[in-house]
Structure 1
Amino acid sequence: MSTAFTRTYAQIRQALLNREELALIDVREEAPFAQGHPLFAANIPLSKLELEVYARIPRRATPVTVYDDGEGLADIAVQRLRALGYLDVALLAGGLQGWRSAGGELFIDVNVPSKAFGELVESQRHTPSLAAEEVQALLDDKADVVVLDARRFDEYQTMSIPGGISVPGAELVLRARQLAPDPATRIVVNCAGRTRSIIGTQSLINAGLANPVAALRNGTIGWTLAGQTLEHGQSRRFAATSEAQREIAANDARRVADRARVGRASFADLQRWQQEAARSTYLFDVRSPEEYEAGHLPASRSTPGGQLVQETDHFASVRGARLVLVDDDGVRANMSASWLAQLGWEVYVLDDLQPAHFSEQGPWQAPVPAPRQAEEISPQTLAEWLAEGDSLVLDFTSSANYVKRHIPGAWWALRAQLPEVLATLPPARRYVLTCGSSQLARLAVAEVEALTGKPAFLLRQGTAAWVAAQLPLETGETRLASPRIDRYRRPYEGTDNPRDAMQAYLDWEFGLVAQLARDGTHGFHVI
């Protein structure tokens, strides 16, 4: 029986309408989360709660409400969050079913606030778009047209429109003039589905670009449904922007941000906000990951602007928090902030940064609790134990990584399902735990020992060390001790999705504006 107090649907709805800070956390795995959840719920699975929550809910006094759909995960999450130092943790009254029964709207898929907002933008601004067949005809006719792909570079490499150039969303206003210097050149912006092409196209229009601009209607999904061929493995990217073009883009972006009522802040403001006990402040660097690694503000997180706008619920899981955006050119932060302000966030751009402020180097490191004690073994020791035949390997990496490669004989498991998993596995004298790096597996060592009464060991530096030692590997779904629900397969990713799934996804997106109206808590405004 839980000792946690509860918050009701009515209380959370009122807090959203009041723009108060709150974190509504779904602790199921991503696939069940994607089957239905409240609009502003953020998904932090119980399996990896400790590794994600400090970055996603940075202030320990934030009102946090957790829920599941009757699986018993939320009670455990409450205990773990309290142990991690969170002071105000509650259960959602009745769980997901309680939300539904109280009249709460449920949304399917992931990153729904941003996708619904994109549909609202198109419906209110009538963002121009071209069908796949129209764009194909322009390309066939060798028309004066450039196709700019607004997704992440890795997504672009998977599949792209013929001749398309990778220009992730926040880069569009900064780079478009260099890629289409003749104002008569038509620009077509695409993504995989709809949202990022709509936002990207509208960004260029809002910034006052002289070129005719249109979104590729329904993105690569629309292209595929039209029976047209995509390219794969392309690497066309934008080149450097001239100082003159950068200055024009900076003025355009500042004007758009001012229209959207983006706040202006100084470095001193940021330092003061970071000390506040009663408000959450996120600090996001919206430049490319390469620029971030070359030099960034201490405590900033690398979140390229297009992805921040697309996945705001993932990066800023506290609705009502303060967002502070950073760049070094005055374009990407202002354009990204203009969208976040329209998405109902209190957002600021730092205006007085100097090169000396960008004093830290290297990739972003997620803040995590101090590592738990665990007895570690080397890959060579594990190989010897496996040859003896009385050790069992549990792999807690993502299911996709497990299928790609894993230690021969290893069982894939979800940490949140350990009691059920261990009850079904063959008996062993000892257990060895791994994941890609060993970070997640380390969290499960004590749990496995407590549940089995047998010794459990950690593979030092995880499966990566096994691979580096050039020891044998297996591939495929050889031993799944849990269902592969850790990731929702998006209908717009990859190239082998069923056509009916693609069409169903587009139909769902078209219905989001009506669903937003029924929900009534979004607080969006479109400039």
Structure 2
Amino acid sequence: MTKNLLQLTISDFPHRSFLQVREVLLAGCEIALLDVREEDPHAQSHPLFAANLPYGRIELDAYTKLPRRDVAIVVLDGGEGLALAAASRLRQLGYSDVSLLDGGVDGWRAAGGELFRDVNVPSKAFGELVESVRHTPSLSAQEVQALIDAGDNIVILDARRYDEYQTMSIPGSVSVPGAELALRARELAPDINTRIIVNCAGRTRSIIGTQSLINAGVPNPIAALRNGTIGWTLAQQKLEHGQSRSYPPTSEANHQQAAQDARALADRAGVTRLQGTALKALYADVTRTTYFFDVRSPAEFDAGRLPHFRSAPGGQLVQETEQFAPVRGARIVLADNDGVRANLTAHWLRQMNHEVYVVDGLQAADFTITTAWIAELPPQPQVAEIDVTTLSTWLADASEEVAVLDFTSGVNYQKRHIPGAWFALRSELPAVLAMLPKGVQRYVLTCGSSLLARYAAADLGILTDLPIHVLNGGTSAWAEAGLPVESGATRLASPLIDRYRRPYEGTDNRAEAMQAYLDWEFGLVDQLGRDGTHGFHVI
């Protein structure tokens, strides 16, 4: 008789040791090393190529991030028991080669494995390696401020996402997200004597952006803003907020030059090229994991896309590679409509030891699909639903008998939630129930749309005999009905650990935390050397 998935134990799954995982990484074979803890504990300590796939979101993300059901998966945690729960769920979702990492994080350390802090570590470590090998030029915050004050012939290009730029920016800077830099730089600095300064929040995107322009042959003097907005803040210099400056359209002459330079770079890095028949063959090949990424801007993707491709703006793809493509050793196929952004992105990914392809010759007219991209999801559990009117009545009549559990992100919960709702993490459900007051007679589950709440309801049903309902349309439906919402961390049944607070985001970071972050980045090259599994090479 087949064992019920809920009854699976550690002995029901094979185990892989640190040495076995290391051997696969060094061989370049496909492996997904998944840390299924929440993002904050993941950021405190994890192996270099451990991608964060929190247990609480596993149904929402698995089919997109792990497209091949027989890919080798190794699951780890920090001793919380989430690895077993996640492995069981992955098997339920159809994944056939799931194993547990011997000893989890502690086992990795005990076996001599290197552990890393923070998020997107492979990309950040690669950026530091690029700077150490290529001696990427940079200017301090004080030097850049002096250039601004003197009215020098400079242009400052912010390589972060547009929303990050709007939050805070260097005075006078222009938003040019990473993959756009080589396509737009000549337009923004037509005088070759104009000094181009590239910044981000910390170091990585400044380094990669600056080196992209240098590699692409842009003739201007180019430098990174050393340590980005962190360095600017530590120098006690003023940032702007709420700016909207962005790049202009690119002239045909500048486009052609950028495309020629980007293609030459990709060829030099060893990027493979594809056209129609070969691309279709990759679509059909189920023996390998293949990711298909459209590296244009999100707005362009929304206006028209290719089949099979999903949005991954090139700068962020280089910055967050293990999150977009957690299967190490997989194939990555990139597309754009200009011959610049895909080639520039590909030349970096190839240096990060990824097998990379660029689809050649695409034009704007090829991006014909205008319907929204929708992630593939497993079947949703059958749940009892209520509408916002019913919940409003229940809360008005006997609020003490109703526990509203909100499974949205901690950030979104603090922005708005149903009055009296508890913030809850699916990975912490037993602790959540212990936090709730006595007298609860029923549970109502919600999140932004109630999609995640539906999956959480199945887990909750194992722990309680009380009635469980899911709010139809979630908190969004509640707000759209004009019902009141509240903000702040008012009721936390779980700690706010689902997101790691980056020391370089927001405007209220402590100087000590920002400096510690920079010190950590400076040490990444040495950590790469001790780890020895990366295969990075810098051209």
TM surpasses 0.5 = yes
Checking the alignment, whether the CA contact within 8 Å between 1:267 and 1:352 is kept in structure 2 is: no
Give aligned pairs, total. Answer: 527
Checking the alignment, whether the CA contact within 8 Å between 2:339 and 2:361 is kept in structure 1 is: no
Please, which of 143, 151, 155 is the counterpart of residue 142 of structure 1?
151
Query: Structure 1: how far apart are the matches of 2:397 and 2:537?
Result: 65
Please, which of 403, 409, 419 is the counterpart of residue 398 of structure 1?
409
Q: After the TM superposition, which residues 45-444 of structure 1 pair with which residues of structure 2 at under 5 Å, given as runs?
A: 45-389=54-398, 390-426=401-437, 427-444=439-456
Give 1:233 deviation, angstroms. Answer: 0.4
Query: Structure 1: how far apart are the matches of 2:462 and 2:15?
Result: 29
1:170-201 deviation line (CA, Å, top 9, x unaligned) = 00000001000000000000000000000000
TM-score (norm 1): 0.99
1:249-303 deviation line (CA, Å, top 9, x unaligned) = 0001001111111111112212111222221110000000111111111111100
3-state SS of paired residue (2:327): coil
2:475 is the counterpart of 1:463: yes
TM-score (norm 2): 0.97
Query: Structure 1: how far apart are the matches of 2:520 and 2:243?
Result: 30
Checking the alignment, whether the CA contact within 8 Å between 2:338 and 2:362 is kept in structure 1 is: no
Letter in 1 for 2:420: G
1:379-398 deviation line (CA, Å, top 9, x unaligned) = 11110010111211000001
Return 5+ residue gaps in structure 1 as ranges. none
Query: Structure 1: how far apart are the matches of 2:100 and 2:458?
Result: 26
2:521 is matched with which residue? 509
Letter in 2 for 1:188: I
3-state SS of paired residue (1:394): strand
Letter in 2 for 1:457: H
Give 1:362 deviation, angstroms. Answer: 4.0
Q: After the TM superposition, which residues 21-36 of structure 1 pair with which residues of structure 2 at under 5 Å, given as runs?
A: 21-36=30-45
Checking the alignment, whether the CA contact within 8 Å between 2:338 and 2:363 is kept in structure 1 is: no
Checking the alignment, whether the CA contact within 8 Å between 1:267 and 1:353 is kept in structure 2 is: no
Letter in 2 for 1:466: W
2:457 is the counterpart of 1:448: no
Letter in 2 for 1:514: D
Give 1:356 deviation, angstroms. Answer: 5.0
Query: Structure 2: how far apart are the matches of 1:357 and 1:282?
Result: 19
1:525 is matched with which residue? 537
Alignment RMSD: 1.0
Return 5+ residue gaps in structure 2 as ranges. 1-8
1:490 is matched with which residue? 502
Query: Structure 2: how far apart are the matches of 1:343 and 1:138?
Result: 34
Range with greater deviation from structure 2 (383-392 or 110-119): 383-392
3-state SS of paired residue (1:483): coil
Query: Structure 2: how far apart are the matches of 1:167 and 1:220?
Result: 15
Query: Structure 1: how far apart are the matches of 2:494 and 2:435?
Result: 10
2:492 is the counterpart of 1:480: yes
Letter in 1 for 2:48: L
Q: Segments of 4+ in structure 1 off by > 4 A?
A: none
Identity %: 65
Query: Structure 2: how far apart are the matches of 1:122 and 1:355?
Result: 35
Decide whether aligned partners of structure 1 residues 79 and 379 sit closer, same or farther in structure 2, where only a CA change above 3 A counts. same
Query: Structure 2: how far apart are the matches of 1:122 and 1:316?
Result: 24
Query: Structure 2: how far apart are the matches of 1:255 and 1:447?
Result: 52
Give 1:448 deviation, angstroms. Answer: 2.3
Range with greater deviation from structure 2 (81-90 or 470-479): 470-479
